[in-house]
Amino acid sequence: MRSLTLAEARERSSLITVTSYAVELDLDQGPDVFGSRTVLRFGCATPGAVSWVDVKARSVESVVLNGESLDPAQVAEGRLVLPGLARDNELTVVATMAYSHDGQGLHRATDPADGQDYVYGHLFLDAAPSVYACFDQPDLKAPYDVTVHAPDDWTVVGNGAATRGADGTWTLAATRPLATYFMTVCAGPYVSVRDEHDGIPLGIHARASLREPLERHAAELFDVTKRSFDYFHGLFGIRYPFGEYHQVFVPEFNAGAMENPGCVTFRDQYLYRGAATRDELLTRANTVSHEMSHMWFGDLVTMQWWDDLWLNESFAEYMSHRCLVDATDYADAWVDSSIVRKVWGYGAERSPSTHAVAGVEALDAQSALQNFDGISYAKGAAALRQLIAYVGDDRFIAGVRAYLTDKSFGNGTLADFLGAIEASSGKDLEAWSRAWLLTADRDTISVEVDEQNGVVERAQVLRESPADRPADRPHTFDVAGWTDGRELGRVSTTVTGPVTTLAELEGTPEPAVLVPNASDLTWARVRLSDSTIAALPAQLAQVPDEQARAVVWSALIDGVHGATVSPEAFLDVFDAAWPQETNSSILTRVAAYAEHRIVPYFVPRPEQDAATTRLNRAAAGLLEGAEPGTTESLAAARLVAGTSDDEALLRAWADGEGLPAGLEDDGDFRWIVVRNLAARGLIGVEEVDAFRAKDDTLQGGLNALMCRASLPEPQAKAWAWRQLTGREGRSNYEMVHLARGLWVAPDDALVADYVPRYFTDVPAMSDWVGEDALSRVVLVAFPRVFTEETARLSAKTIARDDLTPAVHRSLVDADAELREALASRQTFGAAV
């Protein structure tokens, strides 16, 4: 299918004004297809002109334009030409559409727990035409009237309040103007919990088999929802404008959530079936608040074209963390951001695919999707924090209010947004935006100290700008130092040049640990001094500032990726400091990163068992001393389950014997144990299937696939490869879980034959897998055989000119991680 270009979008928006959509969907035509009837009313600025409508159908039965029939066979590459337009037009398109199984369009999934089918619409970025005929671009917004015919036992939820009529027909209330990619329908035997707040009807919905966790988590979800509404109403001065507010937890969702007005969709893993750590609840609360903030920034005011996608995501990323800190019990949300979101964003910044936050002209829609990453989210949010430091918070919020008011139900651009902030603050933002928003990459900040007899004589912040992407970024942040848990000094500074003197530190005791950007206010590579890194095993756990500890861990992770910190140094700090960590986000995320990234990527293969044993030893020590049922106990138990080589312990836990408190009936925890047993060859296919029978759910099926793919046997790998790369009808989630297990092997020889096959077979999947889903498969399935030959094959594939944008971008990012691993291993060798 052709991807809409920016030039085409500009031409069409200059010609077309959409008045309304009336969409009728018939979801009672079986498991493969559904009926779609669209009545589209629109104006044309130049009568007699020719344009086109987007429609990606299994078949088009009829097309009527202004009373005249058009040939349905004229649809080509997802477009139907509309000739001889009048000033006012009515187009009716009747079509048969196909359900998807890759998370795009109208996705249909079967829940094996009860055999029931569930449908949801995910129309981002360009999937709307696979559901209804439309002018599919973000600046052609219009109100919607939607009618859905569904099986008798189904419930329907959508952008407008749903009313059930006769014969399973649901009518949704007319919406305010929406961009095409925000229209959604969720339908199936969903179960619901309802509430109301400040005159807004609220609903939370999930599969019937998730009734228990839905009801168990409903109070927490409603609480965060209500607090977020109150906070944003007060902050923006504009009431939520889209009627009811539904949150639907749907299966096999490609992202975390999607901000459809009035009907937000979430991945249903957020309804934790078993025990949940505090940081997992924080992550979910952040997602709830993030999507709600989009009701104003993204939904009420939508970017004009995809190259301003950051206006949606950076804003929501910043506002959700701000809301959690100011209005909920999750006051440590910025700590979570440091160790989760910014680590993700820094990874995107290290890749050759790095890009500016804004101003990257997306020449077509699919190209824009490639910049939907940690830079659009985490870096953009950090840039907004720096903008607030530059203009002042009151003036920033005044500008945001003006922007939202002026552009309500329309579209905005970067220039519009910055113009509103300039008007409210009285500051010229041209130089600031050029440095922070329009230039890619990041500065490196460090602190250089001269001391005499343990007293600081001179302290300077050094700011290094990337040579190939120079920029003059002002940074406002703080520097703090500790010895034995006592804070010896903290200085706030604004850095505007390569060298900035910290006069306030002169004459103070030299700290053992000195942390630039200690409160994590800016976006930069933090380079810790050699003396600080050497002191961390003894000192980090004593630092009382959890935000600074998160910055240190992030800097260590960044340093390992950049081959400036050895994996041995990281593991030394992990051994000493991690078991004493009290912040849930740091505790769980650092453990996961150590287990799933540091050891398998950066530790040479012959040394990995010893490194894994170190992780297990630290986790076992924490588990022994942790209070049962706490986040500390759960985090430690998960790490033990994933790293232990104690067959007796693993088999007992898998059978439900001797489990840590709170995990007695936790199926998700059991799968961690089973995966470890499978990867070590201690169980086989029959035993995996037996555990699958105990957890006959969607998540159980996915975990079983991953475990089967992890078995250290040639036949298991061959089976996994066929299931992954063949046309086996696997869903987006099934493909990802197969890929996760495939490369798990005791040695490279077992999977070596699949390295060259990856570079031919996986890109070819673009013939039947959607771009959004395939981009994830390409990343997860990338060979975990870290050799120069893998790098050679990767480079050769990236140079091909027949790759789709999503495949190319994911290959570039995965290749960058491979080369980081090779560089680290070459630099530090077998030092672990």
pLDDT digits (tens, 9 = 90+) for 200-219: 999 999 999 999 999 999 99
Q: What is the pLDDT of residues 160-195, one digit of tens each?
A: 999 999 888 999 999 999 999 999 999 999 999 999
The domain locations on the chain are: 6-189, 301-436, 497-828
User: Which residue shows structure tokens 């009518």?
Assistant: 171
291 tagged catalytic? yes
pTM beyond 0.85: the answer is yes
Looking at residue 829, its pLDDT comes to 80
Kindly tell me if the per-residue pLDDT of 832 is higher than 60.
no
User: Which residue shows structure tokens 């594939």?
Assistant: 797
Q: What is the pLDDT of residues 262-275, one digit of tens each?
A: 999 999 999 999 99
Confidence of residue 309 (pLDDT cuts 50, 70, 90): confident
Q: What is the pLDDT of residues 706-750, one digit of tens each?
A: 999 999 999 999 999 999 999 999 999 999 999 999 999 999 999
Q: What is the pLDDT of residues 583-621, one digit of tens each?
A: 999 999 999 999 999 999 999 999 999 999 999 999 999
Q: What is the pLDDT of residues 390-437, one digit of tens each?
A: 999 999 999 999 999 999 999 999 999 999 999 999 999 999 999 999
Give the span between the Cα atoms of 623 and 641, in whole angstroms: 11
Q: What is the pLDDT of residues 485-516, one digit of tens each?
A: 999 999 999 999 999 999 999 999 999 999 99
Kindly tell me if the per-residue pLDDT of 369 is higher than 90.
no
Looking at residue 442, its pLDDT comes to 97
Average of pLDDT values for 1-17?
Answer: 94
Looking at residue 343, its pLDDT comes to 98
CATH class of 6-189: mainly beta
The CATH number assigned to the domain with range 301-436 reads: 1.10.390.10
Confidence of residue 557 (pLDDT cuts 50, 70, 90): very high
Looking at residue 438, its pLDDT comes to 94
Dihedral over alpha carbons 488, 493, 497, 502 (to 10 degrees): -30
Kindly tell me if the per-residue pLDDT of 815 is higher than 50.
yes
Looking at residue 831, its pLDDT comes to 46
How far is residue 498 from each of residues 467, 475, 504, 640, 793, measured CA to CA in Å? 13, 11, 19, 46, 40
Neighbouring residues of 174: CB distance < 8 A, sequence distance ≥ 6: 143, 144, 145, 160
Length of the chain: 832
Give the span between the Cα atoms of 40 and 45, in whole angstroms: 16
Q: What percent of the chain has pLDDT over 70?
A: 100
Give the span between the Cα atoms of 302 and 317, in whole angstroms: 16
SS3 content of the chain, % helix, strand, coil (to 5): 45, 20, 30
The CATH number assigned to the domain with range 497-828 reads: 1.25.50.20
Looking at residue 830, its pLDDT comes to 52
Give me the helix-helix angle, 714-725 and 732-742, nearest 10°: 150
Q: Which is the catalytic residue, given 244, 259, 291, 317?
A: 291
Neighbouring C-beta atoms of residue 822, cutoff 10 Å? 18
Mean pLDDT of the chain: 96
> Can you give the three-state secondary structure of 647-685, one letter per residue?
HHHHHHHHCCCCCCCCCCCCHHHHHHHHHHHHHCCCCCH
Average of pLDDT values for 568-578?
Answer: 98
Picking from 382, 408, 359, 364, the residue whose alpha carbon sits closest to that of residue 261 is 408
Confidence of residue 2 (pLDDT cuts 50, 70, 90): confident
Q: What is the pLDDT of residues 644-681, one digit of tens each?
A: 999 999 999 999 999 999 999 899 999 999 999 999 99
Q: Which amino acid is at 427?
A: K
